Amino acid sequence: MSLYKSNTILFITGLILFMTTCVPKQTPVDDKGITKNQLIMRIKPIQDSSEYNKLTPEEAHVLLNKGTEYAFTGTLLDNKTQGIYVCKQCDAPLYRSEDKFESYCGWPSFDDQLEGAVTQIPDADGRRTEIICSNCKGHLGHVFKGEGFTAKDTRHCVNSISMRFISKEELLKNTDTLSNESL
Ligand SMILES: [Zn+2]
């Protein structure tokens, strides 16, 4: 075998190894082969502001007037079920349960967001960084960096009241009624 040929074989073998080990794969979450990203894409954010979900005074205080719920009072603080956290006002998917971690700060904490779902802006207090829903601009909380909680070194400190949780089971159930959409 010529050197050229054996080099080519080595290269191809290396490429196959790289593709099978380094390229992130979509792991199916059920026996129909539906992946988590496909499930998330089934949650459609409300685009028209006149159709946003009606907010209670408590929800409006946080989402619209940038209030903060009392620490250790939020209903999603200790939620450890697998699923997706969406915006209370517009249903936009914001966070995955995999990115939630225990920070003992009193509010749900995430070290990552769904791509593009959350926008960071300097807080009016001049010190912190506020996080808002990219779709409806509703106030979610604040983001902190450099605390060392997880490898990503980021903590999205989010008010429970700004979010609604949809479990993986609920999402899988809904796929049956949406079967005409391509999977
Ligand atoms: Zn929203």
Question: Which pLDDT value is given to residue 182?
Answer: 30
pLDDT, tens only, 49-84: 999 999 999 999 999 999 999 999 999 999 999 999
Q: How far apart are CA 27 and CA 29, in angstroms?
A: 6
Question: CA distances (Å), 151 to each of 42, 106, 111, 120, 131, in order?
Answer: 30, 20, 9, 20, 20
What residue ranges define each of the domains in the chain, with the CATH number in brackets? 23-177 (2.170.150.20)
Q: Indicate whether 4 pLDDT > 70.
A: no
pLDDT of residue 95: 97
What is the 92 CA–ligand 1 centroid distance (Å)? 5
What is the arithmetic mean of pLDDT over 117-129? 95
SS (H, E, C) 89-115: CCCCEEEEHHHEECCCCCCCEECCCCC
pLDDT digits (tens, 9 = 90+) for 125-178: 999 999 999 999 999 999 999 999 999 999 999 999 999 999 988 888 865 544
Which active-site residues does the annotation give? 157
Instruction: Give the pair of three-digit tokens for residue 50.
Output: 């006149």
Provide the CA 53 distance to its chain's centre, in angstroms: 19
pTM value surpassing 0.75: yes
Q: Among the residues of 22-148, which ranges form H helices?
A: 36-41, 57-63
Using the mean position of ligand 1's atoms as its centre, give its distance from the Cα of residue 91 in Å: 6
Q: Name residues with Cβ closer than 5 Å to ligand 1, which is an ion.
A: 87, 89-90, 92, 133, 135-136, 138
